[in-house]
Structure 1
Amino acid sequence: MNLSQKTIQDVQERADIEEVVSDFVPLKKKGQNLWACCPFHQEKSPSFSVSPNKGIYKCFGCGKAGDAIQFIMDLEGLSFPEAIKQLAEKYGIEIEEDEMLPEDQVKYNERESLFIILNFAAQYFKGLLHEHEEGKSIGLSYFKERGFSNNTIEEFDLGYSLNEWDGFLKAAKKAGHSEELLEKAGLIIKKEDKTYDRFRNRVIFPIHSVAGKPIAFGARILINDKKQPKYINSPETEVYHKSDVLYGIAQAKQHIRTLENCYLVEGYTDVISLHQSGVKNVVASSGTSLTTNQIRLISRYSENITVLFDGDAAGIKASLRGIDLILEGGLNVKVVLFPDGEDPDSYSRKMGDEEFSSYLKNNATDFIRFKSDLLLEETKKDPIKKAETIQDIVRSIAKIPNPVKRAIYIKECSNILEIDEALLITEQNKILLREKQAKGDITQRQVNQLNESFSQAPEQVQKKYSPFDVAAIQEKESIRLLLSYGDLPIEGNTLVMDYLLEELSDAEFVHPVYAEILQEFRHNLEKRKILNEAYFIKNGSEEVRKEIFSLFTDRYTLSENWENKFQIFTVHEKHILNDSVYIHVLRLKHRSILHLLDQNMQKLKTADSTIEEGKLLQYQMQLNQAKLEIGNLLGMVVVK
C-alpha cells in the first residue's frame, strides 16, 4: 500500500494519544500525565505514562515509547502502513494512495497477487488433508499420531500435498492463477521440458506473517527415501524472506507479550507440540541460523528469550552464536537443556502439560552459567584453553549494550569462574575498545591511552564513565536544550540556539543519533526553520524517534494542584533558562579542556627539546588553571 502523504499527515494530526491508548488500557490522571499498567509487560504498579500535550507515551518499566501510530504498531504487531490504515478507519479518514509510476504499480499488483495465490495454496492443502482420501489416510493420520488435536491442526492451518506431479498446478490454473505467478510464489518449478508442483506427497506447514497471512510453506516427507530431503521449504520470494520470519509468531505474539518471555525452538513440530501442551509463547527459526531481524521481531513483544536445546552437544555449540546475537540485541537470554536423546517436541509429549511447564521454569539457566558449564567441562586440564574459554564468555558479555547489565554479568561470571572481577572488567573494556576502533569511533592512540589506564588501575574502571559515555550525556543535553528552548532569548537577548550552536561550532558529536539531530537542526536553520521534538517524532528515523521519545518523556511531573489548589509556586526550567544553558556550556568547555590536557600530556612525553618541553609545560599550566576556574564555577572539587 502506497499511502499518500496527505493520509499519513491527516492521521498524525487527528490521532489522539489518549483516545488511542484508552481503547486498550484504562488511564488515570496523575499530574500533567496519564498513567496505567503497561500493556506490553506484566506489572502491578503503573509505570506506563501518556503525555497528551506531547502526544507520546513511555513505559518506565520496559522502555517502550512512541506516538499513537507507534503504539498501534507495537501492540498489534503491524507495519507503519497497516497502523495508519487502522487509525484512519477509527477516525473516519479517507485513505488515499499516491499515484504510482507504472513500474511501481506492476510491483504492487504482483505482490498483492502473490498473497492471494499463497492463501489459495494454504486452503488447497488444508482441504486435501481433511477431505481427500489420501490426505486423510496419510497426512491426517500422521498428525494424529504426533498427538495433534483437531483444534491445533486447524489453528496452524496444517495441510497435505498429493502424490502427484501437477495436482496443485492444475487446481491453481483452473482457479485462474498464472504459471508465472505460481512460480514467483515458489509453488511450482519450471524446467525446460516440464512444469510440476514443488510440494508433493508431503504434510504441509504453512508459514504465516505477523499479521497471520500465509507467505510460505514447509513440507515434510513421510516415507523413508534417502534421495529426497526430509524437509523442503519455499524459496525466497517477494513476500517471504526467511531471515525476517519466525514460525508460529502469528499464534504466539500476544502470549509472548502477556507472559513477558519468548521460548525459541528449532522446528515446526516443536512449536506445535509446545503450543498444544499449553506453552503458547513459542516460535521457531525454522531450521535457519537465528538472525538479527528475527531477534528484532521478538523484541517487539518481549525483552526476554529462553532458548530450548536438545541434548546434542555439537548442535548446541553451533547455536551459541545465536545467543550472542540475542545479547547484542539488548535482550535477556536464558537456556533450557533437555536430556540426551530428547527435544522439545518429544519431551513435551512424554510429560504431562503441568510437569513439562514446570520443567521449563525450573531448568531455565542464565546464559553465563550455561556457557561456563558447557565450555569449561572440556578445558579442566588445559589452562590455555580455559583462558580462551573465559575470554569467549567475556566477549559474549561485552556484546550487551546496557552497561549496568554488563556489570551484573561480570560479577556473576567472577563468582562462577572464581576469577578476580577487576581482571574480567579490564578484559571486557579492551574488547569494547577494539570494537569501537573497528567502527572508527576512536583512534589507536585513544585505545592505547585507555588500555594503559585499565592496566594501571583495573579496580577503578567499573566506577567511572568512559569519555564516550560522558560525551554522549552532554550531547543529549545539548539536543534537549536546542529542541525545547531554541527560539527563546537568554541574557542579552541572544537566542538559546544561537548561543549553543556557536559553542558547538567546533564540536564533533560522538553519538551518531545526536549528531544526526544536530545536523538536521542546522540544515533547517539555514532555511530559517526552527525544529522542535514534534518535527523529529514525525519525520525522524526509527533511531532518532526512539531517542526523542526517551528525551521528552518525564517519569515524574509536578501535580497542577501545587499551584492551582495550594498556591505553591515552583520554579520551571524556563525561569532559570539562562543559568541552565550557561552551566551546560561550562560543562562542554570543561570536557574540551580535559581532552586538550590529555593531548598535551602525550606531546610532553615525546618532546624532542627543552624549549618545546617548556612551551608544552606552560600550556599545561594554562589548561590546568582554566580547568580549575571552570570547576569552581561548576562547584566541582578539582584536584590540582
Structure 2
Amino acid sequence: MAGRIKDEDIALVRERARIDDVVGSYVTLKNAGGGNLKGLCPFHDEKSPSFNVTPSRGFFYCFGCQEGGDVIDFIQKIDQITFHEAVETLAAKVGIQLRYDESGAPMQRGPSNQRPRLVEAHKVAAEYYVEQLFGAADATLGRQFLDKRGFDKDAAVHFGVGFAPRGGEALTNHLRGRGFTNAELVASGLSAEGQRGLYDRFRGRLMWPIRDASSDVIGFGARRLFDDDKIEAKYLNTPETAIYKKSKVLYGVDLARREIAKGRQAVVVEGYTDVMACHLAGVQTAVATCGTSFGDDHARVLRQLLLDHDQFRGEVIFTFDGDEAGQRAALKAFAGDQAFAAQTYVAVEPDGLDPCDLRLQKGDAAVRELIGRRVPLYRFVLSNVLSKYDLDRADTRIDALRDAARLVVSIRDRSKVDAFTRELAGHLGMEVDQVRTEVYRAASRPAAAPASNDRSQPVVVQGGDAPPPPPRVDVPSPRDQRFVIEWDVLKVAMQHPALVGVAFDELDDQDFTHPWLAAIRSAMAKAGGPSAAPPGEAWVVAVRDAVGNDPAAAVVGALAVDPLRLGREPDEAYALALLARLQELTCARRIQDLKSKLQRTNPIDRADDYNRMFGELIALEAYRSDLRKRAITGAL
C-alpha cells in the first residue's frame, strides 16, 4: 500500500494531459462540430463511429457501449489498470512529479504500476543500443547489414535501429547503473534470469525499437547477425510483458499513424526492413506485425487509425511474398476481411521481391509502383484457389467451381456477388448460369458459426450447467424522446453552466422524470450548482464524483460530450427558455393530477377542498401560460 496522490496533483494531471492528445494516440479523431471530436470506439467493435471526445471539457463518451469518463478513466480502461496507476502513467507522460500524502488513509492497490518504469527502461535501452551501433567495434556486422540493404546512418537513426553487445550482461549492468532493479529488468523482458543471475536477453543482434502509437518504446525486434549465435532463430522479439502484447502491436505505427489517418490507407508489410524501405520510398503508411501473423487485434488497431466505417472507406493493402507461405497469409487475411469496412488489397511483386529488396534493386519508385499496382484481395485469393486445379480437365473444373463458389459467397460486399460470379465464369470457361447455380447452392449451405470474437451475434449457452442470466432492470434510456427536454437542460448545465446560473437552483427532482437524470440534478446541486461551477472538466469531474456509484454515473460523460441540437453557440436566452420549457412540462403534469383529483371530488360534500383545488388549478394554468411565453421568447 502507498499514500494517496495529492488531490492538487491529480487535478494538474487532468489539466496537463490533454484528452484529445491521449485518446488520439489510440484512435483517429475527426472534427464533429461544436468543439467535439469523433472516432471509432476502442472499447467495442463498431462499423460507424459513436465515440465522442470533447477537449474543452476533458471528457469522452461512446454512445454505442456507454463507456465514458475523463482522461484518467480512458487510460484506466484502455490499459486495464487502476486509477492510481493511470494517474502515475499520465504524470510520467506529461512530466509531473507526483506527491503522496503519507499521513492520510493508505491507497488500496494491487501490484505496483509498472508501466512508467518499464517504458523508461526501454527508452534507456533504445538509446544505449543506438550508441552501441555507431560506437562498438563488434557492431561492424550490424552496420554492414544495414548498408547492404540500402540504409545509411541517417535512416538507422530515424528508425532508432541499434545493436545489442555480444557480452552477456552489458545492458543489464547499464540499466542497473541507471537505478533499475532486478525485478524491473526481468519484468521488462530486457533481461532474463539464469543460474548465475541476470543476463541480457538480446546479445549480438541488430535491434529495432517497437513503439506504441504514443511513441513509447515498449519492446524490441532483434535480428541474428553472427553464425555462432546460440539462438538460431533469425528474429527474436520481446516476450509478452505488462506493456508489450504482440497481438496488438504494429511496428512503425508511431511513424505511420498520422499518414494512415490523413491518406485513409494502411500498408501491411512483413518485416522491419520492409517498413523502413517503404517509408524511405515515400509509402509512409506502412506497418508490420511483430513476430506474429496479422490477426483480429491488429485489424482493430488499423480500423481505429483509419476511422474505418461505411461512409468513409479507406484501403488496407497487404504485401505478401508470392511463395506458398505468402499465399497462406493471404488466405488468412481474407478470412479476417469482414473486420474491415475498408477495401482490402494485395500488392505482390512479380519477381517475388519484398519491399526492401525491391527498393535495393530497382529504387524508390519501384516500391511506390508496387503499392500502386495493388489488386483486390478477393482476386488474389481466387487466383490462388484456381491455380490448384487443372482447368483443362472437365472434372477438375467442376471441383474448382465448387471451391471458388464458396469464396464468392463469402465476400463482404453483397452487391458484387453477381459481378464476381461472371468473372469466375470467365476464368473457368463456363456458362454464367452454371456458375450462378453453384454460387446459389454454396450460399444455401449452413454458414460456419461466428468466430468467438464476433460480438455482433448473441451467444446462446445451452445445457443445465449454464448460470441463469442476471435479473434485468427495465430502466428506459435517458435519451428516449420522452426525456429530451430533461436531457437538453442537463447538457446545457454540464457544458455551459454559467448560462443557467442560479436559475437552475429553482429546479428540483420533480422536474426530472427519469431517475438517472434526477440523480444528476441532485449531484449538480451537491457539487455547488452551475452558478458556482469550476471551469472546464473540473465541473464534470465534480458532478461525476457527487453522483458516486449511482447508475446515473454512466451518462455523466454523455451529457458532457453530446452536441447541443441548436446549430449555433447557446446563449443565456436559449438556456433560460429551455429551463422554462422543462418547468412547463412539470406544471402540465401537476395540472393533469389536479384535474384528476377535481373529477373525483364532490363539489357539494367537499366544497372547501374543491374550491381550494379549483383556485390552485387557475393559478397553475396562469403559471403555465407564463412559462410557455418565456420558452417561446427564447426561440427554442
TM-score, structure 1 length as denominator?
Answer: 0.58
Instruction: Please give the alpha-carbon distance, in whole angstroms, between the structure 2 residues aligned to 1:366 and 1:97.
Output: 57
CA contact (8 A) 1:414 1:424 kept: no
Residue 349 (str. 1) matches residue 356 (str. 2): no
CA contact (8 A) 2:149 2:356 kept: no
* Residue aligning to 1:592: none
Instruction: Please give the alpha-carbon distance, in whole angstroms, between the structure 2 residues aligned to 1:71 and 1:370.
Output: 46
Higher relative contact order (CA 8 A, sep 6+): 2
* Residue aligning to 2:136: 132
Instruction: Please give the alpha-carbon distance, in whole angstroms, between the structure 1 residues aligned to 2:418 and 2:10.
Output: 49
Instruction: Please give the alpha-carbon distance, in whole angstroms, between the structure 1 residues aligned to 2:215 and 2:386.
Output: 43
Bigger Rg, structure 1 or 2:
2
**One-letter code aligned to 2:380:** F
**One-letter code aligned to 1:268:** Y
* Residue aligning to 2:112: 107
Displacement, 1:202? 1.1
Instruction: Please give the alpha-carbon distance, in whole angstroms, between the structure 2 residues aligned to 1:10 and 1:178.
Output: 29
**One-letter code aligned to 2:124:** F
Residue 80 (str. 1) matches residue 65 (str. 2): no
Aligned pairs for 1:447-596 within 5 A: 480-482=480-482, 484-485=484-485, 524=516
**One-letter code aligned to 2:424:** L
Instruction: Please give the alpha-carbon distance, in whole angstroms, between the structure 2 residues aligned to 1:315 and 1:349.
Output: 21
**One-letter code aligned to 2:126:** A
Residue 199 (str. 1) matches residue 202 (str. 2): yes
Instruction: Please give the alpha-carbon distance, in whole angstroms, between the structure 2 residues aligned to 1:291 and 1:98.
Output: 45
Residues 103 and 272 of structure 1, relative CA distance in 2, 3 Å threshold: farther
* Residue aligning to 2:423: 416
**One-letter code aligned to 1:104:** R
Instruction: Please give the alpha-carbon distance, in whole angstroms, between the structure 2 residues aligned to 1:269 and 1:222.
Output: 15
Instruction: Please give the alpha-carbon distance, in whole angstroms, between the structure 2 residues aligned to 1:411 and 1:5.
Output: 63
Alignment equivalent of 1:427, drawn from 439, 443, 452: 443
Residues 423 and 161 of structure 1, relative CA distance in 2, 3 Å threshold: closer
Residues 143 and 266 of structure 1, relative CA distance in 2, 3 Å threshold: same
Residues 122 and 441 of structure 1, relative CA distance in 2, 3 Å threshold: closer
Cα deviation digits, residues 454-508 of structure 1 (max 9, x gap): xxxxxxxxxxxxxxxxxxxxx99995424524689xxxxxx9998xxxxxxxxxx
Residue 374 (str. 1) matches residue 384 (str. 2): yes
Identical positions, percent: 23
Instruction: Please give the alpha-carbon distance, in whole angstroms, between the structure 2 residues aligned to 1:140 and 1:146.
Output: 10
Residues 223 and 415 of structure 1, relative CA distance in 2, 3 Å threshold: same
Residue 293 (str. 1) matches residue 290 (str. 2): no
**One-letter code aligned to 2:481:** L
Instruction: Please give the alpha-carbon distance, in whole angstroms, between the structure 1 residues aligned to 2:275 and 2:32.
Output: 35
Displacement, 1:263? 0.5
Aligned pairs for 1:26-105 within 5 A: 48-51=31-34, 56-58=36-38, 63=49, 66-69=52-55, 80-81=74-75, 104=109
Instruction: Please give the alpha-carbon distance, in whole angstroms, between the structure 2 residues aligned to 1:113 and 1:487.
Output: 43
* Residue aligning to 1:391: 406
* Residue aligning to 1:333: 344
Displacement, 1:87? 12
Cα deviation digits, residues 7-59 of structure 1 (max 9, x gap): 99999999999xx89xx9xxxxxxxxxxxxxx969xxxxx954125xxx3458
Residue 364 (str. 1) matches residue 374 (str. 2): yes
CA contact (8 A) 2:405 2:439 kept: no
SS of alignment partner, residue 207 of structure 2: strand
**One-letter code aligned to 1:257:** A
* Residue aligning to 2:155: 152
Residue 311 (str. 1) matches residue 322 (str. 2): yes
Residues 477 and 106 of structure 1, relative CA distance in 2, 3 Å threshold: closer
Instruction: Please give the alpha-carbon distance, in whole angstroms, between the structure 2 residues aligned to 1:351 and 1:316.
Output: 24
**One-letter code aligned to 2:141:** I
SS of alignment partner, residue 109 of structure 2: helix
Residues 353 and 385 of structure 1, relative CA distance in 2, 3 Å threshold: same
How many pairs were matched up? 465
Cα deviation digits, residues 164-215 of structure 1 (max 9, x gap): 2222223333333322221221122212245322111111111112111221
Displacement, 1:320? 2.4
Displacement, 1:318? 3.6
CA contact (8 A) 1:57 1:67 kept: yes
**One-letter code aligned to 1:271:** V
Instruction: Please give the alpha-carbon distance, in whole angstroms, between the structure 1 residues aligned to 2:17 and 2:190.
Output: 41
**One-letter code aligned to 1:153:** A
SS of alignment partner, residue 166 of structure 2: coil
Aligned pairs for 1:176-187 within 5 A: 176-187=179-190
SS of alignment partner, residue 335 of structure 1: strand
**One-letter code aligned to 1:366:** P
Residues 273 and 97 of structure 1, relative CA distance in 2, 3 Å threshold: farther
Instruction: Please give the alpha-carbon distance, in whole angstroms, between the structure 1 residues aligned to 2:151 and 2:74.
Output: 36
Instruction: Please give the alpha-carbon distance, in whole angstroms, between the structure 1 residues aligned to 2:16 and 2:485.
Output: 26
Residues 476 and 146 of structure 1, relative CA distance in 2, 3 Å threshold: farther
Displacement, 1:248? 0.8
Displacement, 1:392? 3.8
Displacement, 1:262? 0.8
Residues 134 and 94 of structure 1, relative CA distance in 2, 3 Å threshold: closer
Residue 116 (str. 1) matches residue 120 (str. 2): yes
Displacement, 1:96? 9.1
Residues 48 and 115 of structure 1, relative CA distance in 2, 3 Å threshold: closer
Displacement, 1:142? 1.9
TM-score, structure 2 length as denominator?
Answer: 0.58
Question: Going by fraction, where is helix more abundant, 1 or 2?
Answer: 1
Larger mean Cα displacement after TM superposition, 216-225 or 230-239:
216-225
SS of alignment partner, residue 206 of structure 2: strand
Residues 278 and 107 of structure 1, relative CA distance in 2, 3 Å threshold: same
SS of alignment partner, residue 239 of structure 1: coil
SS of alignment partner, residue 189 of structure 2: coil
**One-letter code aligned to 1:267:** G
Displacement, 1:226? 8.4
Displacement, 1:420? 3.6
What root-mean-square deviation, in Å, do the aligned CA atoms of Structure 1 and Structure 2 show?
5.6
Residue 162 (str. 1) matches residue 180 (str. 2): no
Residues 335 and 540 of structure 1, relative CA distance in 2, 3 Å threshold: farther
Instruction: Please give the alpha-carbon distance, in whole angstroms, between the structure 2 residues aligned to 1:259 and 1:253.
Output: 10
SS of alignment partner, residue 160 of structure 2: coil
Alignment equivalent of 2:217, drawn from 199, 214, 219: 214
CA contact (8 A) 1:157 1:206 kept: yes
Residues 378 and 408 of structure 1, relative CA distance in 2, 3 Å threshold: same
Where does structure 2 lack aligned partners over 5 or more consecutive residues?
Answer: 41-46, 62-70, 77-85, 309-314, 426-434, 463-474, 489-509, 524-539, 574-580, 586-636
SS of alignment partner, residue 301 of structure 1: helix
CA contact (8 A) 1:310 1:340 kept: no
Instruction: Please give the alpha-carbon distance, in whole angstroms, between the structure 2 residues aligned to 1:301 and 1:251.
Output: 12
**One-letter code aligned to 2:119:** F
CA contact (8 A) 2:51 2:60 kept: no
Instruction: Please give the alpha-carbon distance, in whole angstroms, between the structure 1 residues aligned to 2:38 and 2:156.
Output: 39
* Residue aligning to 1:633: none
CA contact (8 A) 2:5 2:101 kept: yes
SS of alignment partner, residue 107 of structure 1: coil
SS of alignment partner, residue 195 of structure 1: strand
Instruction: Please give the alpha-carbon distance, in whole angstroms, between the structure 1 residues aligned to 2:6 and 2:303.
Output: 29
Residue 255 (str. 1) matches residue 259 (str. 2): yes
SS of alignment partner, residue 314 of structure 1: helix
Where does structure 1 lack aligned partners over 5 or more consecutive residues?
Answer: 25-38, 42-46, 398-405, 445-474, 489-494, 499-520, 565-572, 578-640
Instruction: Please give the alpha-carbon distance, in whole angstroms, between the structure 1 residues aligned to 2:17 and 2:123.
Output: 33
